[in-house]
Structure 1
Amino acid sequence: MPIQALLIDIDGVLAVGGVPIPGAPGAIRWIEDQGIPHRFVSNSTQRSRRQIAERLNQAGFAISEDQITTPIVSALRLLEEKGISVCRLLMTDAARSEFSEAGITESSGGAEAIIIGDAGSGFTFSVLNEAFRQINDGALFIALERDRYWMSGDGLTLAAGPFVAALEYATGRDAVVLGKPSPDAFLSACAMMGVEPEHTAMIGDDIRTDVGGAQAAALVGVLVKTGKYSWSALKESGVKPDMILPSIASVRELFG
């Protein structure tokens, strides 16, 4: 089926450590000039959407905050649906700011939900043990993402996934996962653009999270050979991309 819209990952696809992938800013300008509907779908929970947009724009892009979708957006929607306003937030201060701006109160005791993002060095034993106890006592267990790792400026870096898995193992409970590869991460972005999943391509550097997750949601999965891409990860995943591009700079190839 012809591709009519794009979902584009950020880290490893547009930039690595704040440095743009060669040709990436020009590729996004071409997408804009062609009038192709698109959204930037990131599992990043280290920064707020405002900070993500500012960093990309400093790197030579022209991307607005409302073009970016992160798991925090989905989390806030879920909390509203369930009437939850008191949470324990395991994430960076920047990510916490989006919750506080939405009226969510953080509490280390009596939290109705434990929400885990990428806390980096904040994942200490005491923090994880406290989260374990609260989840065990019945708090809603939400994972903003469960990526295994991501490509930072100084190399591959653990993401939130390994810590989410540890708490799942310890509590015997599965987290409610909101970021990619959850189908909602892709389908909600398609709905915002008013496009059908079958006519939408997801471009990412993670064979499981981006490509496999998109294909499971009926989107076209496109893998780029930048960021965390590796031939061994592709081979071991068992996922077959619909197309592989050298980088986002070759995006025109998706449209013949």
Structure 2
Amino acid sequence: MNDLLQQVLKAHGGLDRWNQFSSVTAQLSTGGGLWALKGLIQDAAPRQMTVSTQEEFASVTPFGQPDWRTSFRPGRVAIETLDGTVVRERDNPRASLDGHTMNTAWDPLHRAYFNGYAMWTYLTTPFFVAMPGFEVSEIDPIEEGGEQWRGLRARFPDHIASHSREQDFYFGEDFLLRRHDYHVDIAGSFPAAQYVDRIVEAQGIRLPTRRRAYVRGPDGKPVRDLLMVAIDLQDFRFT
């Protein structure tokens, strides 16, 4: 484990503390332009998001109906009732998104898959990179707002679903997350730059409560007029 990664993990609460938990739940509200591009109506009402901390699993409630929720794992996504009855399901959900562009419409299971892997990635950053199979290296820093942010590049193993196989994470002088760059492979591989701030501490773990993802231009800078996803989080609870 390189020195920067050690400092980053410590700043966010420490791997020992993280490994005491099996899940984290948060209330989230989402917006942004991606949903309209996908032919979806975005409801800003708060939802409850739960992800596992030690394996890739996620669920959001409600989803579509007041008594429905999602169940996401990399190889299967489902919409089910609160008592576990399956409403719709799809095995190998990544394959159903092959050939999609930024404007290709999504069905509810496409959305559930995206929501599942994206929120699992966000709510477990940076600790997931310490899981087996991840390759992490330090990359060149970037300049933002008069500050220099050091960077880590994570290469994801094949069994973990996420935006893209390689993703870059940038950290301030306090070693807390500031920016997350990736390509959205399931939507034409468009490049994104996601900014995070308003970090809070919950049960010893530090997490951002605001995320804003923009299309990333050829110069690496965000296109501020193209806000794709906005996420606001609160009420983090670890178990």
TM-score range, shorter chain: under 0.3
* Structure 1 or 2: more strand by fraction: 2
* Structure 1 or 2: more helix by fraction: 1
Give the TM-score normalised by the residue count of structure 1.
0.25
Give the TM-score normalised by the residue count of structure 2.
0.26
Q: Choose 1 or 2 for highest CA Rg.
A: 1
